[in-house]
Chain A
């Protein structure tokens, strides 16, 4: 019990760290995921190939391996001196984007084809059709899987702790190394994750309800 009160600043920083990296990679995953989903349904073959390759590679690679690539390959060949936070965000965001992409793509396929045909017949471009007609109607079906994806992302962010990013999991490691009772540490850490994941599913429930009455 005392471990929380005595080390509140560490717990707080860990909590904020997890929150920050989850939010940053969720945003990255969302933007990339929607973009790549657009690639995958685009009329341009090279974009479709790129989208398929993106999903296949990222979805089938263990996340830990992506972290290793991000921390040991990316700084060497691309951008030396990038902060661990950014590298971890890249690994998590890219990985999660493949799942977001597939959720968005399955949402797109629930929108009747006639909607896109009508938009194209009016002279709307492919990207206008996608942004203004198809994606807004796909949103409702995409929200539930997206909620699960972001909850998984929250928990996956623990891996970043092992790569010297200050977040909840690294706090537990720090304190247990100092010899505090591991049971209590884990309990508090687990509760902190619960707060975040509950907040995510709550947020998505609100969004779903809002979409429900919007029509």
Chain B
């Protein structure tokens, strides 16, 4: 496995070289289910890593361990050189540097769109209200929902909600953004508006971990594809290499299924 995973990063060195997120021999169980098995994964600053794999392979769990929404049983995770602390203030501070975008958006239902993007800035970063609002409006414009600022999330389409969720995460100036199937709950015609925002982010140099079934996005935006199956990272490679010439049988099998659909 190490021989397979090593080649991807040597062939396509990450843009800026230094290690931002490091998972070292991470293991996790849900009861008897060994959902993450000996996961080693390093994400460099400015790198876009797409995680793909069959349903139930542990992609979401992997993504959620990085900001400790899921705890791990063994191994170590560090972000920008700091190991993830226990639940508490220090963890909260670290989470503020890690943006998370969920499949189901999870916008605060009792707050307006603007308030959603302002809240983290004022309550976590202690930014003053005027500056926070200014930044929120700029971000909402950037993701194309500036005119919806005073509406409640339920009044927006799924694609709009997800773009607000991205703006909400960006408002914290995160070092890395985690996306867990950000387009899977969307109607087909809304998928692209969200992917375009993500493409732009990638071009702007944001470090991103993206769990997705959108192979087009993986091909065009990813520096590296991580293929998971049964709780293991089975293959890691540069997108072209992975899609045109997968090495593992699991990956070949997976690709033949999704590409023939």
Contacts and interface: CB of A to CB of B under 8 A. Distances in A.
Contact of B152 (A112, A137, A215): A215
Interface in B89-130: 89, 92-100, 102, 104, 106-110, 119-120, 123-124
Given A123-B95, A123-B96, A137 B109 contact: yes
A115 B123 contact: no
B251 interface: no
A25 to B, nearest CB: 29
Interface of A is mostly: helix
A136 B115 CA distance: 14
Given A120-B92, A121-B100, A122-B168, A115 B152 contact: no
Interface stretch (A33-41, A125-133, A160-168): A125-133
Given A115-B109, A120-B92, A132 B67 contact: no
A207 interface: no
A117 B102 contact: yes
Interface of A: 43, 112, 114-115, 117-126, 128, 132-133, 136-137, 214-215
A96 B101 CA distance: 41
A113 to B, nearest CB: 9
Interface of B: 67, 69, 87, 89, 92-100, 102, 104, 106-110, 119-120, 123-124, 152, 154, 165, 168-169, 172
Nearest to A128: B123
Contacts of A137: 109-110
8 contacts: A118-B165, A122-B169, A122-B172, A123-B95, A123-B120, A125-B92, A128-B123, A128-B124
Given A115-B106, A115-B108, A123-B95, 16 more contacts: A114-B106, A117-B100, A117-B106, A118-B106, A118-B108, A121-B100, A122-B96, A122-B124, A122-B169, A123-B93, A123-B94, A124-B92, A124-B124, A132-B123, A136-B110, A137-B109
Contacts of B169: 121-122
Nearest to A116: B106
Contacts of A121: 67, 69, 95, 98-100, 169
B69 A215 contact: no
A118 B94 CA distance: 14
Contacts of B110: 136-137, 214-215
Contacts of B120: 122-124
Contacts of A125: 89, 92
Contacts of B94: 123
Contacts of A114: 102, 104, 106
Contacts of B123: 124, 128, 132
Contacts of A126: 87
Name which of B98, B100, B109 has the most chain A CB atoms within 10 A of its CB. B109
A114 B161 CA distance: 14
B93 A118 contact: no
Nearest to B93: A123
A3 B59 CA distance: 77
B66 to A, nearest CB: 10
Nearest to A211: B110
B124 A123 contact: yes
